[in-house]
């Protein structure tokens, strides 16, 4: 009767613990992985975003040369792949500096001095070789070409689209919610430990049940979180992402798959621990009965 | 402890586990169903490209370019006025455009993208497939395949060969329009061919488009249309 008196509270606390474990896992993965500058740097490396961005620019300027007559090398020789990588890393760095409150605004820019020199040199050489008049329209054409090229390069280098997020005010919103979120993570983790503590306290008269309740909550929370993660990863769900710019596609899909993979790993570890606890309980239970 | 009470005890723990699992699943489904329904529309838009799920590493932004060999008609080939049309896939070469007057022979791809424009002329997928009734709209770069397009004049003959027939057109008028003007690229009820390119401009892009509108001379299908179009 004494045991039965604690049965319903144990069920209720286990139920709470299952969801608190799920929230804790998700919150910790989001805080330590999804909102980590290191993760973005890792995705840049893993997905070779600089290579993809450079290739995208190569295709763009080649295609553009078919209508403008300006060879792609005028642009591409002034922008090296290494510079693109630095720019992509810089966009991430700037975004996190803004999110962490180190800067008041998000700004992303690149040094286009070499590009300006290259385009100017090509136009002037063309004008001299073809007796092209260097009038106001000539200099306006140079400026238009530079503006279009710089806009395209910045768009291509901003693989994670922080500029777009900033323009729409999402980066600002994220920044304001970040401190609340970080406090929330601590509260969830403390609550998880607290509920676990109460559950253990209720099991003080039947200590052999401790691994049972811990195992049960671990297994159920693991199953509930791991199942959708495995489904998403196995079906390549993120690969149906609609934006087809290669560098943006690789950045977004690579990032989402990495985060889902990390969450999946954490939940599978919880699941394994849960199974171990249940096996332990089974052994203890068998010994007590015999 | 008796055997029966051992069994009961084990059953009790198993049933507790199953009950808790069902309870948690039910609560999760119940809580998530409304947010999921709200997010479903957005998710379906953001992750709508089902083709990429099958071939996630096909490259070229998911564009699959297919080069085809367009067979020329045999000397004893029998032709039909109406016939079977083979509808191409986006990125597939499905015709060859020939014009003796400007020594032009260029592959025609279904759909338009930078990669396809590098390979040949592109037919807008919003226009009708060759053989169907309506406006066939084809464009290409001015510095490559359509460099001599402005040289075409009324009466010049243009032939489009496919693997299901040959379609002959005659230039009826030269056109010039702004890229914002869709007058010449819109669908039409009459059979015609519209070819256009950018106006050549030194060191820059032009907003002007130049080209020709051609009227249909003949449609020659290799196979009759008894089984309908495919």
Segments making up each domain of chain B, as ranges: 1-48, 60-221
Mean pLDDT within B150-178: 94
Mean pLDDT within A63-67: 78
Least confident of A143-147, A286-290, B54-58, B206-210: B54-58
A114 and A226 co-located in one domain:
no
A128 and A194 co-located in one domain:
no
Q: Does B143 touch chain A (CB under 8 A)?
A: yes
Q: What is the DSSP string of A180-208?
A: HHHHHHHHHHHHHHHHHHHHHHHGGG-GG
Question: Mutating which of B7, B15, B20 best tests the A interface, going by the most A Cβ atoms within 10 A?
Answer: B20
CA separation (Å) from A121 to A115, A126, A128, A139, A141?
10, 8, 11, 12, 13
Residue B113 phi/psi, 5-degree rounding, is: -160, 165
Q: Taking a C-beta distance cutoff of 8 angstroms, is the pair B83, B164 a contact?
A: yes
- Percent of chain A past pLDDT 70, that is, above it, reads 98
Q: Taking a C-beta distance cutoff of 8 angstroms, is the pair A221, A188 a contact?
A: no
pLDDT digits (tens, 9 = 90+) for B188-209: 999 999 999 988 776 777 788 9
Alpha-carbon span B114 to A262, nearest angstrom? 37
Task: Report chain A residues whose CB lies below 8 A from the CB of B59.
Answer: 246
DSSP count for chain A of H helices, then E strands = 11, 0
Q: Taking a C-beta distance cutoff of 8 angstroms, is the pair A58, B191 a contact?
A: no
A67 and A154 co-located in one domain:
yes
A14 and A66 co-located in one domain:
no
Least confident of A29-33, A161-165, B67-71, B148-152: B67-71
Structure confidence at residue B60 (pLDDT): 45
| CA nearest neighbour of B95 among B158, B29, B3 | B158
Q: Which residue has the higher pLDDT, B229 or A148?
A: A148
| CA nearest neighbour of B104 among B212, B205, B216, B192 | B212
Structure confidence at residue A133 (pLDDT): 83
Q: Is the CB of A216 less than 8 angstroms away from the CB of B115?
A: no
| pLDDT of A259 higher than 90 | yes
Q: Total domain count for chain A?
A: 2
CA separation (Å) from A11 to A210, A221, A271, A283, B29?
13, 14, 19, 22, 19
A199 and A249 co-located in one domain:
yes
Q: Tell me which of A106, A140, A170 is where a domain ends.
A: A170
Q: Taking a C-beta distance cutoff of 8 angstroms, is the pair B208, B178 a contact?
A: yes
Q: Taking a C-beta distance cutoff of 8 angstroms, is the pair A278, A219 a contact?
A: yes
To the nearest whole angstrom, how far is the Cα of A66 from the nearest Cα of chain B?
5
pLDDT digits (tens, 9 = 90+) for A25-49: 999 999 999 999 999 999 999 999 9
Least confident of A65-69, B135-139, B224-228: B224-228
A63 and A158 co-located in one domain:
yes
Structure confidence at residue A210 (pLDDT): 92
A69 and A19 co-located in one domain:
no
Q: Taking a C-beta distance cutoff of 8 angstroms, is the pair A52, A156 a contact?
A: no
Task: Spell out the SS3 assignment of A39-102.
Answer: HHHHHHHHCCHHHHHHHHHHHHHHHHHHHHCCCCHHHHCCCCHHHHHHHHHHHHHHHHHHHCCC
Measured at the CA of B166, the angle between CA B226 and CA B125, to 5 degrees, comes to 85
CA A220, A226, A228, A231 dihedral sign is: negative
Chain-centroid distance, C-alpha A181:
16
Alpha-carbon span B198 to B181, nearest angstrom? 13
Q: Does A238 touch chain B (CB under 8 A)?
A: yes
Structure confidence at residue A32 (pLDDT): 95
A81 and A55 co-located in one domain:
yes
Residue partners of A58: CB distance under 8 A and separation at least 6: A72, A76
A11 and A55 co-located in one domain:
no
Q: Is the CB of A68 less than 8 angstroms away from the CB of B203?
A: yes
Q: Does A53 touch chain B (CB under 8 A)?
A: no
Structure confidence at residue A156 (pLDDT): 93
Asked whether residue A22 is assigned to any structural domain, the reply reads yes
Least confident of A151-160, A203-212, A247-256: A203-212
In angstroms and rounded to an integer, the radius of gyration of the C-alpha atoms of chain B is 29
Alpha-carbon span A1 to A272, nearest angstrom? 33
- Percent of chain A past pLDDT 90, that is, above it, reads 73
Structure confidence at residue B165 (pLDDT): 93
Q: Which residue of A has its CA nearest to B6?
A: A289
Residue partners of A190: CB distance under 8 A and separation at least 6: none
In angstroms and rounded to an integer, the radius of gyration of the C-alpha atoms of chain A is 28
Mean pLDDT within A91-116: 93
Count other Cβ atoms within 10 Å, centred on residue B212. 24
A6 and A20 co-located in one domain:
yes
Asked whether residue A177 is assigned to any structural domain, the reply reads no
A57 and A157 co-located in one domain:
yes
Residue partners of A30: CB distance under 8 A and separation at least 6: A181, A259
Return residues 66-85 of B near A (CB < 8 Å). none
pLDDT-based confidence at residue B138 (cuts at 50, 70, 90): very high
Residue A63: which of B6, B13, B118 has the nearest Cβ? B118
Q: A159 by DSSP, 3-state: which?
A: coil
Question: Mutating which of B113, B204, B209 best tests the A interface, going by the most A Cβ atoms within 10 A?
Answer: B204
Q: What is the pTM of this model?
A: 0.73
B60-221: which CATH architecture? Beta Barrel (2.40)
pLDDT digits (tens, 9 = 90+) for A231-248: 999 988 888 887 768 899
Complex-level ipTM: 0.80
Residue numbers of the domain that contains A104: 46-170
Mean pLDDT within B216-224: 93
Q: Which residue of B has its CA nearest to A209?
A: B13
Q: Give the single-character DSSP code of B127.
A: S
pLDDT digits (tens, 9 = 90+) for B44-92: 777 776 555 444 444 445 567 788 888 777 778 888 988 999 988 888 9
Mean pLDDT within B202-218: 87
Q: Tell me which of A137, A170, A203 is where a domain ends.
A: A170
Asked whether residue A175 is assigned to any structural domain, the reply reads no
| pLDDT of B228 higher than 50 | no
Q: Give the single-character DSSP code of B111.
A: S
| pLDDT of A85 higher than 80 | yes
Q: Does A15 touch chain B (CB under 8 A)?
A: yes
Q: Is the CB of A236 less than 8 angstroms away from the CB of B16?
A: no
Q: Which residue of B has its CA nearest to A57?
A: B114
Q: Tell me which of A170, A203, A231 is where a domain ends.
A: A170
Structure confidence at residue A193 (pLDDT): 95
Give the burial string for A48-66 (b: 16+ CB within 10 Å, else e).
Answer: bbbebbbbbbebbbbbbbb
| CA nearest neighbour of B95 among B28, B183, B195, B12 | B195
Task: Report chain B residues whose CB lies below 8 A from the CB of A236.
Answer: 52-53, 56
A215 and A253 co-located in one domain:
yes
Phi-psi region of A133 (alpha: psi -120 to 50; beta: other; left: phi over 0): beta
- Percent of chain B past pLDDT 70, that is, above it, reads 90
Alpha-carbon span B230 to B226, nearest angstrom? 11
Return residues 149-208 of B near A (CB < 8 Å). 198, 201-206
β-pairing verdict for B192-198 and B93-99: unpaired
């Amino acid at each position: 009767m004494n045991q039965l008196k604690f049965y319903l509270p144990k069920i209720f606390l286990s139920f709470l613990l299952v969801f608190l474990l799920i929230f804790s896992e998700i919150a910790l993965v989001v805080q330590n992985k999804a909102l980590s500058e290191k993760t973005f740097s890792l995705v840049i490396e893993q997905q070779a975003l600089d290579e993809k961005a450079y290739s995208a620019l190569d295709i763009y300027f080649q295609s553009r040369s078919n209508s403008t007559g300006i060879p792609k090398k005028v642009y591409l020789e002034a922008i090296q792949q290494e510079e693109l990588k630095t720019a992509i890393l810089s966009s991430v760095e700037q975004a996190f500096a803004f999110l962490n409150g180190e800067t008041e605004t998000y700004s992303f820019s690149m040094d286009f001095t070499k590009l300006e020199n290259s385009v100017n040199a090509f136009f002037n050489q063309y004008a001299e070789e073809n007796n092209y008049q260097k009038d106001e329209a000539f200099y306006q054409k140079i400026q238009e070409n530079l503006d279009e090229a710089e806009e395209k390069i910045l768009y291509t280098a901003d693989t994670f689209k922080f500029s777009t997020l900033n323009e729409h005010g999402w980066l600002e919103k994220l920044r304001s919610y970040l401190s609340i979120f970080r406090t929330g993570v601590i509260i969830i983790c403390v609550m998880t430990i607290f509920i676990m503590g109460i559950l253990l306290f209720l099991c003080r008269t039947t200590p052999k049940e401790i691994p049972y309740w811990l195992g049960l909550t671990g297994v159920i929370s693991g199953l509930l979180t791991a199942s959708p993660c495995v489904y998403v990863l196995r079906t390549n769900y993120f690969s149906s992402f609609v934006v087809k710019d290669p560098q943006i596609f690789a950045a977004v899909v690579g990032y989402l798959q990495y985060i889902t993979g990390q969450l999946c790993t954490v939940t599978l570890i919880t699941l394994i621990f849960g199974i171990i606890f249940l096996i332990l309980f089974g052994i203890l239970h068998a010994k007590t009965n015999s | 402890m008796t055997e029966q009470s051992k069994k009961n005890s084990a059953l009790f723990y198993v049933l507790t586990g199953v009950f808790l699992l069902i309870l948690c699943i039910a609560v999760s489904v119940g809580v998530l169903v409304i947010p999921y329904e709200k997010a479903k529309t957005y998710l379906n838009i953001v992750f709508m490209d089902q083709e990429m799920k099958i071939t996630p590493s096909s490259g070229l932004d998911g564009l699959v370019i297919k080069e085809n060999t367009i067979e020329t008609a045999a000397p004893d080939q029998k032709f039909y006025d109406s016939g079977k049309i083979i509808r191409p896939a986006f990125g597939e070469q499905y015709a060859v455009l020939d014009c003796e007057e400007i020594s032009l022979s260029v592959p025609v791809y279904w759909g338009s993208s930078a990669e396809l424009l590098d390979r040949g002329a592109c037919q807008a997928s919003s226009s009708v497939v060759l053989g169907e009734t309506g406006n066939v709209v084809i464009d290409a770069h001015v510095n490559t395949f359509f460099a001599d397009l402005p040289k075409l004049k009324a009466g010049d003959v243009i032939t489009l060969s496919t693997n299901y027939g040959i379609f002959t057109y005659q230039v009826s008028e030269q056109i010039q329009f702004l890229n914002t003007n869709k007058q010449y690229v819109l669908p039409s009820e009459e059979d015609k061919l519209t070819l256009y390119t950018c106006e050549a401009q030194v060191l820059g892009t032009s907003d002007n488009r130049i080209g020709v509108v051609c009227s249909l001379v003949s449609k020659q299908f290799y196979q009759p249309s008894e089984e309908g179009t495919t």
